[in-house]
Structure 1
Amino acid sequence: MSKTQVVVTGGSGFIAIHIILQLLQQGYAVKTTVRNLKKTELVKRMLKNGGWDDFTDLSFAVADLTTDAHWDEVMTGATYAIHPASPTPTLNFKNEAEMINPAINGVLRVLKAASAAHLKRVVLTSAYGAIFAGHRDQTTPFTEEDWSDLSVKGIHPYQKSKTLSERAAWDFIDNDNSGLELATVNPVAVMGPVLADDYSHSNIQIQEMLTGKTKVLAPVDSGYVDVRDVASLHLLAMTSPKAAGQRFLATTGETYSMKDVADILRDNFPQFAKNIPSKVVPTAIIKAAAVANPMLRMVASVAGTYAETSNAKATKLLGWQPRSAKTAILATAQSMIDLKIV
């Protein structure tokens, strides 16, 4: 009997590689896309670092989210697709369209091809950025019912790209007649074990704290979640009948400040204590500095904002049980130490 095939986009990505690992462990056949075949060795190396070295049920396809080419062939024969691939935030961009348009067009390419190939369901990796932005007076934890309000001034284009690309996905499904289902997973800051020196932008803050590159801390609160739990939530969202047409906020429900994160690292990795900053810069100073420094604008846009979240929907509807935020943060640091990234 042939195995159920799942397409995973952008196989070398931090979230994608953990999804692929769990799919292979659970007996699925995986076809993953890469922008060029040079990435295949990186994907295999990361899977080996994650404890998996049987590639019988893993195949690769070259496909790029910026072009229509190859997507129809990619989806042929698959039952499900999981779409974590997305343009990485370019902090120094010329205009918003550079971030927003590729995100929207990439999502639509995946959905059109999935619809044409009559897949059962696509799980889109959206983001907390599609939920929280623009809510200046929020006093209750954010849930899946919330959408970022893009009419508010000062929202970073990365959050806009996540919001508009997820909106585009739901609009597509509303008008699609193939029977294709959609679920989205909206993670807060994703931590957990990195499997190579190719990792996500949320993990960079841990590396920069441990190596002393971060000199002061921004007044930013955030939820944190382990990448292994983000991956498991994608699999639940892929297979559960209850997940069709639903959004799921991937969060532990805990909120940490950057200072909390620094304190956790200092307490648990004393050999790096001298590198880890403790001084917090006031919000007003970060916002003023960001006017002249585009690299600070994403941090400035969330400095001093409310960041409480709820995972009640994922835990109650799908039985999802995430590790603690502290466990996720420590796993990031330990994996970077083990791989000699720090």
Structure 2
Amino acid sequence: MNDNRALVLVTGGTGYLGGHTITRLLADGHRVRTTVRDLGRAAEVPHDEVEVVAADLGADDGWAAATEGVDYVLHVASPFPPSSPADDDEVIRPAREGTVRVLAAAREAGVRRVVLTSSFAAVGYSAVPRAEYTEADWTDPADPNTAYIRSKVIAERAAWDQVRSAGGPELAVINPAGIFGPVLGGRLSSSVGLVRAMLDGAMPVVSPLHFGVVDVRDAADLHVRAMTHPRAAGERFLAAAGRSISFLELARILTESGYEVSTEELTAEQVRADPAMREAVARLGHVPVIRTGKARDVLGWRPRPVEETLADTARSL
């Protein structure tokens, strides 16, 4: 019997956002295929009904088979270094080339639309008046940011350039802030790792920096909405819930949720005096205002409150 349900390819199915996106797609009745670099990790993909194929962002092999017969691609996978690399290109090159490789394979396979997971890093790490950011803003890749931040803006720009120059498939981009929320397995995202460090007492003092928050379930929801909505093609969508918070506010939310964590904050002078926090100095006093009206108005997106997300994160850990 023919199965007329849409077939969706999710890259990086063993990852945090990838796993939640797969869960949402299955709940909506889609068929799902996902890629892993090594089939030995297939068991880490949530849900047995998912088709798992091998494909590495660093090589062409496997991508034609991965995209064959696919209606939509959600390109979630991207390299995230555990520490700053000796050479920025160790992160930037695979992010850029992997994105272009996936788009090329999708075009050859006749995929309708690709939804790319970019990041607020591609939007809000260059100064703008009043620190208010919309989808019209771009981080300048020439600014002295980390390799990861530069990789996100360079990879996203490469994606838009690829679609403009080669044509098809349709492209939509999601730019999430820090992703928190319930974990599905033992592998933690870097953002959830911050909550784990607080709960474990490994972060006895916090830095006076601010960041945006989005629930992983809401980020997955936004990807799925952008996958099929007629007005999403050719658009970027910022994803954040409420106002940006500080690490101290995160600690206080966890305390109010019943967890014992440190609520001691470094002073700006202490940050400036610590060589290990050199990259944080430029962010002191910077409270980003992330405008998400586009996702709400165009796609009907309604993220849950930050407090709920962070409490659910701690509870799942």
TM-score by length of 2: 0.95
The CA distance in 1 between the partners of 2:288 and 2:311, in whole Å, is 21
Q: 2:29 aligns with which of 6, 27, 30?
A: 27
CA separation of 1:21 and 1:298: change in aligned 2, threshold 3 A: farther
Hey, what's the Cα distance between the residues in 1 that align with 2:288 and 2:26?
Answer: 34
Identity %: 37
State the secondary structure of the residue aligned to 1:119. coil
Structure 1, residues 15-36: CA drift from partner, whole Å, max 9, x if none? Answer: 0001100111111110000111
Query: Are the counterparts in 1 of residues 85 and 147 from structure 2 also a CA contact under 8 Å?
Result: no
The equivalent residue for 1:161 is 151
Q: Structure 1: give runs of 5+ residues left out of the alignment.
A: 48-54, 337-342
Q: Give, in angstroms, the shift of residue 253 of structure 1.
A: 3.2
Aligned match for 1:283, one of 268, 273, 290: 268
Q: 1:118 aligns with which of 110, 114, 119?
A: 110
5 Å-filtered alignment, 1:194-209, equals: 194-209=183-198
Aligned 8 A contact 1:253 1:310 in 2: no
> Do the aligned residues in 1 keep the contact of 2:84 with 2:146 (CA within 8 Å)?
no
- Once the two structures are superposed, the pairs formed by residues 54-93 of structure 1 within 5 Å of their partners are 55-56=48-49, 58-93=50-85
Contact preservation (8 Å) 1:123, 1:234 = yes
Distance 2:247 2:56 in 1: 35
Shift of 1:284: 4.2
Question: Residue type matched to 1:26 in 2?
Answer: D
Counterpart of 1:311, as a letter, is T
User: Aligned partner of 2:294: which letter?
Assistant: K
Q: CA deviation at 1:280?
A: 1.4
**Alpha-carbon deviation of 1:151?**
3.3
**Amino acid across the alignment from 1:244:** A
TM superposition shift of 1:76:
0.3
What amino acid is the match of 1:212? G
Aligned to 1:340: none
SS in 2 for 1:265: helix
Specify whether residues 287 and 97 from structure 1 end up closer, same or farther in structure 2 by C-alpha distance, changes over 3 A only: farther
Structure 2 residue aligned with 1:218: 207
Partner residue in 2 for 1:176 = 166
The equivalent position to 2:98 in structure 1, one of 91, 95, 106, is 106
What's the offset of the Cα at 1:278?
Answer: 1.6
Q: Which runs of 5+ in 2 are unaligned?
A: none
Separation of aligned partners in 1, 2:285 and 2:141: 18
Residues in 1 aligned to 2:280 and 2:190: alpha-carbon distance in whole angstroms = 12
Q: Which amino acid aligns with 1:68?
A: D
Q: Rate the CA distance shift 1:139–1:59 in 2: closer, same or farther, 3 A.
A: same
1:205-237, CA deviations, whole angstroms, 9 ceiling, x for partnerless residues? Answer: 100001100011111101111000000000010
Aligned counterpart for 1:305 among listed residues 286, 290, 315: 286
What is the match of residue 259 of structure 1?
248
Checking the alignment, whether the CA contact within 8 Å between 1:144 and 1:249 is kept in structure 2 is yes
2:301: which partner in 1?
320
2-side partners of 1:194 and 1:30: how far apart? Answer: 20
**1:139-195 per-position Cα deviation (integer Å, ceiling 9, x unaligned):** 05211111002333x312211100000000000000123x31000000001011001
Task: Give 3-state SS (helix, strand or coil) of 1:38's partner.
Answer: helix
2:230 pairs with 1:241: yes
Q: 1:321: Cα distance to partner?
A: 0.5
Secondary structure of 1:183's partner?
Answer: strand
RMSD of aligned Cα (Å): 1.5
Whichever residue aligns with residue 160 of structure 1, its letter is: R
Secondary structure (helix, strand or coil) at the match of 2:45 reads helix
Which letter maps to 2:160? Answer: W
Quickly say closer, same or farther: Cα 1:311–1:115, change in 2 above 3 A.
same
Can you list the C-alpha shifts for 1:73-132, whole angstroms capped at 9, x where unaligned?
A: 100000000011000134231021111111101101100100110100000000000001
Equivalent AA in structure 2 for residue 149 of structure 1: D
Tell me how far apart the structure 1 counterparts of residues 306 and 232 of structure 2 sit (CA, whole Å): 24
Higher mean Cα deviation, 206-215 or 138-147? Answer: 138-147
* Total equivalences in the alignment: 315
Equivalent position SS for 2:91: helix
Q: Secondary structure at the match of 2:132?
A: coil
Name the residue aligned to 1:188: 177
CA distance in 2: counterparts of 1:218 and 1:61, whole angstroms: 41
Distance 1:155 1:288 in 2: 19
- Distance change >3 Å, CA 63–CA 254, structure 1 → 2: same
Q: Is the 8 A contact 1:139 1:306 kept in 2?
A: no
CA contact 2:205–2:262 (8 Å) conserved in 1: yes
Say whether 1:329 aligns with 2:289. no
For 1:67 and 1:92, the matched residues in 2 are separated by 23
| Offset, 1:265 | 0.4
